[in-house]
Amino acid sequence: MAELPFRQVHLDFHTSPLIPDVASDFNATEFATTLKGAHVNSVTVFARCHHGMCYYPSKVAKVHPALRRDLLGEMIGACHAQGIRTPVYITVVWDEHVAHEHPEWLQVSANGYAGTHPPFTAAWKWLCPNSPYLDYVAAQAEEVARDYDADGFFFDIMMMTEPGCLCRYCLDGMLAKGLDPRNETDLRQYSLEVAKRAMARLTEVVRRYKPEASIFYNSRLRPALDADSGLRDELQYGSHLEIESLPSDPHWGYLHYPLLARYVQTLGTDFLGMTARFHKSWADFGGLKNEAALEYETFSMLASGGKCSIGDQLHPRGVLEQVAYERIGRIYAEVEALEPWCRGAIPVKEVGVLLTVDGLSRRRDLTAEEGATRMLLESQRQFQLIDELTGLAEFQLVILPDCVPVSDKVAARLREYVTGGGSLLISGASGLREEGFVLEELMGLSYAGRPGYTTHYLQPDPSLGLPDMLHVMYEQPLLVRPAAGAQVLARITEPYFERTWDHFSSHFQTAPDRASEWPAIVQRGRVIYLAAPIFSAYRRHGNLVYRQTVEACLDRLAPGQAVRAALPSSGQVTLLRQGDNLVAHLLYYPAERRTPEIDIIEDVVSLYDVRLWVRAGGIPKHVYLAPQGRPLNRSITGEHNAGIISVVVPELRGHQMVVLEM
């Protein structure tokens, strides 16, 4: 497959059979001309939607009753005439028409609901890909692949109900394999097998007719520590990954994309980010995202090493919203200008963050990962979220945030990593088993239990550079005993007592009483342990001193930061390598919580004379702004083989790239 285009639109068309004038105003030439004028070079067009309606004269699936033309064929033909690529969208698990015609093919949830929802719920019904329904989907995929010049296939909603489907086909399949449908782990494992079989079959169908077509299965992104339940084994079924992430939808938010992107970066496959032009979420007709927000979301994709996709939904009568495409066009014109410095660029590795969860469920607690993501973004550390198979040697430091379950295999790899000169930052219960920490000999301590209080206080050593006071920690720590030779960097001060309904003092937590014998932070060599689950605490409480504490530990373990910029904490800087050259992305788009659920980005605030430091490892031949080409004066600090290059960016208006030609 050819390289993914940088400027894509994902075009939905979930149109009820009750709508009488489908595509009545569609003009193929105007459609493609609008896209071309918006600098779009790939658009995902639609064959079948969640209502189960087809938009071409299908012989195998239900055609929309109001359709009077081959809408799919006209879109493909007109776009190809303009040099625009056209992957084709096919829904998988959600199909209202088939759900009505074949209720025996519905997924059955653990609470007994066919289609996973109670009656009279305005929600999509779930079909089971373990039933004959998969034959229906495969027949349509074959029809489109055979009869249309599709450049790719986007199979949407490839997922199973939680914890697994209990339809007759899944029950029979589980029993035949000796699995217990009452056992949640068996249910999840069998559901994973069902999804993989479905993807394997659909990929085989497409490849039979279109061996070079792109293939993507949506709803499969699952960051996972253990490779067996994560994405690695599923990469064989597709050509790339797409990170659907609409920050204005509370389901996602602005932390969702950077977290997933820094996991996908480690998988060795091409990927893109997908936001949407809507103010809120999909099918928000009449809603238009603020231009500053759409800029930030799109440039963030480039800054993470990804390509760009902006979602839209075509009006039932088939006319694109001109104002939306004028906005998309202004942003994609900038993306087009930046592409020469983004093509083939990969993120610089600095910090690896071990994932805490498996991949058997979509609904997992990622609080620790979210806290680490927010902290490291604000600290301007380059980082990836890694699983048990990710190579560790290129990372200066590996973080085990709060609750990483460390298997014997992972423990052996971490010991080898530290022996080879790597550093570890461990917090909370990461690596804890019933008998104690699996890495106690590296950590320089032993497990002593859990205290009878939740809120406690941290008294830092002056060497950490934190304000000289007791700092409240809202989450319960673990109690540990330091071994000989370990350095205690902070101690726990206990409250007078745990706050309960009949045993409390004042308005909030109980005041600190006296310093205890228990350490809050212990360092032994290149390993630091924090007794509190500090990353989850930062995600829940946002207490600045938690980030400052982690930053102090990072500076002790990995002092040579890859890149830094004199930005506010809401600014971001990433560093990518493109061949021998380095490309830094600076972003500053402050967000404000103006509603109970949505962060709003409205204004682009310019910053002037922003100092940037890059650890280049040598002396660059040229340093300049991209795409402007304006050269920058540089200064060099440190030894030339370290090559810390310092430049001043005259103006940062939202997003700016700095190129170091080595």
SS3 460: strand
Q: CA distances (Å), 128 to each of 100, 132, 635, in order?
A: 14, 8, 62
CATH of 348-557, one of 3.40.50.880, 1.10.3720.10, 3.40.50.720, 1.10.10.10: 3.40.50.880
Digit-coded pLDDT (tens) for 422-445? 999 999 999 999 999 999 999 999
Token representation of residue 363: 């609904």
Does the pLDDT at position 151 exceed 90?
yes
- Which of 309, 295, 300, 192 lies closest to 256, judged by CA? 300
Q: Among 178-187, 202-211, 507-516, 620-629, whose mean pLDDT is lowest?
A: 507-516
Mean of pLDDT values over 322-351: 98
The percentage of the chain sitting over the pLDDT mark of 70, rounded to a whole number, equals 99
User: What stretches of 251-354 show up as alpha helix (H) in DSSP?
Assistant: 256-264, 291-303, 322-338
Digit-coded pLDDT (tens) for 237-278? 999 999 999 999 988 999 999 999 999 999 999 999 999 999
Domain segments of the chain as ranges: 7-222+309-345, 348-557, 563-661
Digit-coded pLDDT (tens) for 73-99? 999 999 999 999 999 999 999 999 999
Beta strands 644-653; 606-615: pairing state? antiparallel
Question: Distance between CA 403 and CA 429 in Å, rounded?
Answer: 5
Token representation of residue 20: 């009488």
Mean of pLDDT values over 328-334: 98
CATH of 7-222+309-345, one of 3.20.20.80, 2.102.10.10, 3.40.50.150, 2.40.50.140: 3.20.20.80
SS3 40: coil
pLDDT for the residue numbered 200: 98
Does the pLDDT at position 551 exceed 60?
yes
Digit-coded pLDDT (tens) for 382-431? 999 999 999 999 999 999 999 999 999 999 999 999 999 999 999 999 99
Q: What pTM value is reported for the model? A: 0.95
Does the pLDDT at position 487 exceed 50?
yes
Digit-coded pLDDT (tens) for 208-226? 999 999 999 999 999 999 9
pLDDT band at 640 (very low <50, low <70, confident <90, very high): very low
Instruction: Name the architecture of domain 563-661.
Output: Sandwich (2.60)
pLDDT band at 504 (very low <50, low <70, confident <90, very high): confident
Question: Distance between CA 131 and CA 508 in Å, rounded?
Answer: 55
